[in-house]
Homo-oligomer: A and B are copies of this chain.
Amino acid sequence: MDKTNWKLLELLEQNGRLTYAELGKLVHLTAPAVAERIRKLEESGVITGYSAQVNLEKVGIPITALVECQVYRTKEREFKTLIMSLGEVIECYNVTGPYAFVLKVGVKSMSKLDALLERLIDLSDTNTMMIMTTPVKRIMPLNIAQDS
C-alpha cells in the first residue's frame, strides 16, 4: 500500500468507472501498470467490488429510516433470518449495546414502513429515526494514508 495505491483507491472511490488509461494519467503510470496494481488490490481483497450509486428518491423510495432493534434474547437467530429476507433492509449492523441491531431501511410509503415495523416488533423492541438528510456518505475514511 504505497502512496500510488492510496491515490488509486481514492480515485476509484470517487469514480469507479475510470479507465486504466485515465487512472494512469492521474498517478503517472501507464495503463498496464495501473491494471496490474488494481488486479492485485482486488485479488488481495482490498477492493471487494464496484457498484453504481442510485438515487433512491428517483426510483420510488422517498423514505429512509434508521431502526434500532432491541431483539428479544430467544429470538436472535430468527430475527437475523428475517432481516436478511427483507428487501427493504438496505444496511444492517450488529452492534454493541442494548440495541443489538441497527437497520437502515428504504420504503415507498409510510404504510410500508408501518408494515415493516409490525414484522420486526414480534421479535424486538424498535426505535425508529427518520432520515432527513445525509450530509456525508463515503466508502472509507479520508486521509488514512498520512494519518498516523
Which 8 pairs of residues, A with B, have the shortest CB-CB distance? A87-B142, A12-B52, A16-B50, A95-B129, A92-B136, A87-B143, A96-B130, A16-B51
* Nearest CB of chain B from residue A8's CB, rounded to whole Å: 9
Whether a CB of chain B sits under 8 angstroms from the CB of A27 is no
Q: Which of A34-60 contact B (CB under 8 A)?
A: 44-56, 58-60
Copies of this chain held together in the complex: 2
**Is there contact, CB below 8 Å, between A59 and B90?**
no
Interface string of A123-148 (1 = CB under 8 A from B): 00001011111111111111110010
In the complex, the answer to whether B54 meets A140 with C-beta atoms within 8 Å is yes
Q: Whole-angstrom distance from the CB of A140 to the nearest CB of chain B? A: 5
State A91–B141 Cα separation when bound (angstroms): 9
Of B48, B105, B134, B136, the contact of A54 (CB 8 Å cutoff):
B48
**Interface contact A54-B47, CB-CB below 8 Å:** yes
Name A53's contact: one of B17, B127, B130, B139 (CB within 8 Å): B139
- Interface residue range, chain A: 35 or more
Given contacts A59-B144, A140-B56, A51 and B14 within 8 Å (CB-CB): yes
* A133 and B102 contact, Cβ closer than 8 Å, known pairs A15-B51, A51-B139: no
Within 8 A of B (CB), among A91-130: 91-97, 99, 102-103, 105-108, 127, 129-130
A89 within 8 A of B: yes
Across-interface contacts of A87 in B (CB, < 8 A): 141-144, 147
